[in-house]
Amino acid sequence: MPARVLIVYNQPVLPAHDPQAVAERAVFDTVTAVRRHLDRAGFDHERLAVGRDLAASLADIARLRPDAIFNLFEGLGDDPRSEARAARAWESLAVPLTGCPARALRLAGSKHLAKRALAAAGLPTPRAVVVTSLPFEACGLEWPVIAKPALYHASIGIDALSVATDKAQLARRVEMLLSRYVGPVLVEEFIAGREFTAGLIEAPELVTLPAMEFEFDALAALPWPLMTFEAKWCPQTDEYRATPGRHGAAIPRALAAQLGDLAGRAFRRLGCRDYARVDFRVDAQGRPWILEVNPNPDLSPSACLAGALAAAGGDYAAFVVSLARAALARSPRRRLTRAAALH
Ligand SMILES: Nc1ncnc2c1ncn2[C@@H]1O[C@H](COP(=O)(O)OP(=O)(O)O)[C@@H](O)[C@H]1O
Ligand SMILES: [Mg+2]
């Protein structure tokens, strides 16, 4: 009997006019690609869109009884903690999930908690303070600093005004972030320098793909060189055009090795599984700093991870299928069936 895989993804909840809707809706491309490749590999598969009703998704999964869940649920656009919460609920059904476990989604999904865990393991991350209310003291940090909503990803809440050079600017920014976004704000030293992201794939050995660089066009007169929401999601903007991603960037060999080593250690430290991406900045002295770890990063065929895989000579279709197979291999039910067949 072919294995039955349920592709679970988020039902967009933000209205179409919301500036962040584009990021939330991007999951549809991934669902299309994953369906195509599972289909070609002979899997029996179905889709399940999950919105606000987590209990309904649990009932649906219990009824459908898949052998594995292909987890493309990135959380609801207005509820950043929902990604880890949903994964934890589905784990309770004892159906294996592709990608990172709920615990890693929760830890890495809280940038401040992830930083603490990375720092405790001796991994370099920029100095920072966590702000939960006003007024606050950005004690001891060196200017400039960047303020980020700690629970979000995809550069939500990051724009040209994210970087502050004095107390008044920072206070205005933090006040705005605290009022608009759920959760604390992370105020972090701004690392000027090259930016890289390194994809990791565990199939089953952990491999770090060559890092991709985000270039900052010096001629574009960006207020700050950084990957804002527009730079990531809005192709018609100057910021997008001025921040191209490049695979195969010239990286000194020692630095490439360091990025690979740090990415692998960060992956393990946060308890990631199957695939993840680690973002870096490299300072003027050539020292790499981990900005964040992305568990279950964007899996679409046009995203950084797929690009890095292709640049390294890997095959996206085979990768998608290997994720389903890895989850199935964790299925207690299929293990029992196989064991029964042997007797
Ligand atoms: N400490 C920092 N120094 C310099 N740039 C930063 C720093 N933190 C974040 N950035 C910029 O903001 C972008 C988004 O920040 P990141 O921590 O990766 O969050 P997200 O989860 O939204 O991708 C980064 O890609 C980088 O360009
Ligand atoms: Mg990032």
- Report the pLDDT averaged over residues 26-30: 96
Please tell me if the CB atom of residue 208 comes closer than 6 angstroms to any atom of ligand 1: no
Higher pLDDT, residue 8 or 220: 8
Distances in Å between the Cα of 179 and the Cα atoms of 83, 149, 162, 183, 343 are 22, 11, 15, 10, 62
Report in angstroms the alpha-carbon separations of 198 from 35, 247, 309.
26, 10, 10
Nearest atom in ligand 1 to the alpha carbon of residue 189 is 1
Give residue-wise pLDDT tens across range 301-314.
999 999 999 999 99
Q: Which ligand is nearest to the CA of 154?
A: 1
* pLDDT value of residue 222: 87
Residues facing residue 275 across a β-bridge:
201
CB 107 within 8 A of CB 271: yes
Span 328-332, average pLDDT: 89
Nearest-angstrom CA–CA distance, 211 and 288: 12
List the one residue out of 115, 121, 1 whose CA is nearest residue 65: 1
Q: What is the pLDDT of residue 2?
A: 84
Nearest to 293 by CA among 336, 316, 319, 262: 262
pLDDT exceeds cutoff 70 at 253: yes
**pLDDT of 218:** 83
Q: Is 37 in the pocket of ligand 1 (CB under 6 A)?
A: no
Whether 230 lines ligand 1, by a CB cut-off of 6 Å, is no
Cα 86 to Cα 106: distance, rounded to the nearest angstrom: 10
Residue located nearest, by CA, to atom 15 of ligand 1:
155
Burial of 72 (0-12, 13-18, 19+ CB in 10 A): buried
CB-ligand 1 contact for 298 (6 Å cutoff):
no
| pLDDT tens profile 197-239 | 999 999 899 999 999 999 999 888 889 999 999 999 999 999 9
State the pLDDT at residue 105.
98
Examine the pLDDT at 193 and tell me if it is beyond 90: yes
Question: In this model, does residue 333 exceed pLDDT 80?
Answer: no
Site to probe by mutation for ligand 1, drawn from 291, 293, 294, 298 as the one with most ligand atoms within 8 Å of Cβ, is: 291
Tell me how far apart the alpha carbons of residues 8 and 159 are, in angstroms, rounded to a whole number: 31
pTM passes above 0.85: yes
For helices 82-91 and 102-109, give the axis angle rounded to 10 degrees.
170
| Residue 335 confidence (pLDDT) | 56
CB 308 within 8 A of CB 247: yes
Confidence (pLDDT) at 219: 82
Q: Is 100 in the pocket of ligand 1 (CB under 6 A)?
A: no
**Mean pLDDT to the nearest integer, 160-182:** 96
Pocket test for ligand 1, best of 130, 161, 163, 226 (most atoms within 8 A of CB): 226
Taking Cα atoms as reference points, which of 210, 203, 77, 189 lies closest to residue 125? 189
Q: Pairing relation of β-strands 4-10 and 44-50? A: parallel
* Predicted pLDDT at 136: 85
DSSP bridge partners of 13: none
Q: What is the pLDDT of residues 265-290, one digit of tens each?
A: 999 999 999 999 999 999 999 999 99
Confidence of residue 45 (pLDDT cuts 50, 70, 90): very high
